[in-house]
């Protein structure tokens, strides 16, 4: 597997600590909510004059808009910085991703948005920006 693939697997393992939500290390073509998937990263090479690489991943959570309140309560719990279902807390639970990384940092969550899938299902999405540093 590639370094990026290994990092995605490490992030997935951290996120699997969130109860009652499916997690995929790859972007899902036809996601079944509620879930989280990890999109391909951007990369900055040769950081800190030491050859370090910083990968910036988007960790995306999605809930169905089939009812008004329940899915949004779940998304609120995922957005919470320190709660049991916090995406940031889970992402940073092992800052080495099993020894693969020198640091993992969840810096922000972007503005949520609504999409409609090809099967005509409404999804509410939130994206977290996660930087993984590799020496």
The pLDDT score that the predictor gives to residue 31 is: 87
Count how many domains the chain has.
1
Query: β-strand 22-24 against 35-47: which pairing, if any?
Result: parallel
Model pLDDT for residues 106-134, shown as the tens digit of each residue: 999 999 999 998 888 899 999 999 999 99
The proportion of the chain whose per-residue pLDDT surpasses 90, expressed as a percent, equals 81
Model pLDDT for residues 55-67, shown as the tens digit of each residue: 999 999 999 998 8
Residue 49 pLDDT greater than 70, yes or no: no
pTM of the model: 0.92
The pLDDT score that the predictor gives to residue 14 is: 98
Angstrom distance (rounded) from CA 91 to CA 94: 7
The pLDDT score that the predictor gives to residue 115 is: 93
Task: Determine how many CB atoms are found less than 10 A away from the CB of residue 66.
Answer: 11
Please report, for the domain that includes residue 79, its CATH number: 3.30.70.1700
Range of the domain at 126: 3-134
């Amino acid at each position: 597997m590639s370094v990026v693939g290994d990092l995605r697997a490490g992030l997935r393992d951290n996120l699997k600590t969130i109860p009652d939500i499916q997690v995929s290390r790859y972007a899902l073509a036809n996601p079944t909510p509620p879930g989280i998937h990890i999109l391909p990263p951007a990369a900055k090479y040769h950081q800190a004059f030491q050859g370090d690489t910083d990968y910036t991943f988007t960790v995306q959570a999605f809930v169905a808009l089939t009812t008004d309140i329940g899915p949004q309560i779940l998304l609120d719990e995922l957005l919470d910085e320190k709660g049991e279902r916090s995406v940031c807390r889970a992402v940073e639970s092992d800052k080495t991703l099993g020894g693969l990384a020198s640091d993992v940092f969840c810096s922000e969550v972007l503005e949520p948005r609504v999409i409609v899938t090809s099967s005509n299902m409404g999804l509410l999405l939130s994206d977290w920006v996660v930087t993984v540093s590799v020496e």
